[in-house]
Structure 1
């Protein structure tokens, strides 16, 4: 298993993930994005210091993607997002990717705090985040809309001083 920087030739796989409703509902986003739009965004953010995107790979197979976004160098915080392909779920890839990205944020980018938003019904993800030391900081009532209804989300975060690398 390894993390590596997102490359332009990875975009077809990311496009596939971004258009899967069951996946994108966890990111609170509409599963609608053209490959052309994705390529435009890749080019636009290529030199953007407020984002880092990594491919999760195992034996040359793309397993998923983990991203550090909204990187704020003044307040030293960022949001973390992760997608693991459903066929690789439950095999430790999410934990691996999460650990590596968290390590990168704290030890390379010198972030003070990493945060995320998670559906309160996504117990598996909440468990993974808590096992990594993330704490619930708040409940965001009816924060996102999916499948015809509003859903709650937790705001979870980890401070660098709480992190053990």
Structure 2
């Protein structure tokens, strides 16, 4: 079985055809609180981003996979970020579009990325930063044995005030 192909989804690189998908997703203000985005992205900026998405993770220190269903339609994204090959660690974050949530896509994507990072990037650990009130994400990461490592107090500012962010780690022993 291929590394980035699961039973119901596959993970693939960004393609030029993803411009509208990326534009809609990146400019959805409901996602901004978890991405630290504060202004909309233009199609021009996103087109340049896609054109440079071929950069190796060792060079860019990040990589974005598009999560596709069995019809090869994008249902979300899973990102590797803050890749530190010297320390063998990388952050992981994912987003499933609301209309595709509840289908197991996030779980399958996370499993594929864990396998990929440990086998192909030789990572010693993955980490995730999760808002303390994001119970679905907490449950997902705990399902894959990510362990609670600490709380960043008042880390995320929202229209309702400050939220804590939890650090989770999965260490490959």
TM-score, with normalisation over the residues of structure 1?
0.90
Alignment of 1:36-115 (within 5 A): 36-49=44-57, 50-58=61-69, 59-115=71-127
Does the residue aligned with 1:107 lie in a helix, a strand or coil?
helix
Find the partner of 1:124 among 132, 136, 143. 136
Q: Secondary structure at the match of 1:29?
A: coil
> What is the Cα deviation at residue 144 of structure 1?
1.5
Over aligned residue pairs, what C-alpha RMSD do you find?
1.6
Aligned residue among 30, 34, 40 for 2:38: 30
Task: Number of aligned residue pairs: give it.
Answer: 161
Shift of the alpha carbon at 1:29?
3.0
Aligned to 1:18: 26
Q: 1:31, CA displacement in angstroms?
A: 5.7
Select 1:155's aligned residue among 159, 162, 167.
167
Q: CA deviation at 1:47?
A: 1.6
Give 5+ residue unaligned stretches, structure 1: none
| 1:86 Cα deviation from its structure 2 partner | 0.4
Which range is displaced more, 141-150 or 40-49?
Answer: 40-49
Hey, what does 1:4 align to over in structure 2? 12
In the alignment, the residues of structure 2 paired with residue 42 and residue 144 of structure 1 have an alpha-carbon distance, to the nearest angstrom, of 28
**More deviation, 8-17/57-66:** 8-17
CA contact (8 A) 2:80 2:92 kept: yes
Segments of structure 2 that go 5 or more residues without pairing to the other structure are 1-8
CA displacement at 1:112 relative to structure 2: 0.6
Distance in 1, Cα, partners of 2:28 & 2:121: 31
Match of 1:142 in 2: 154
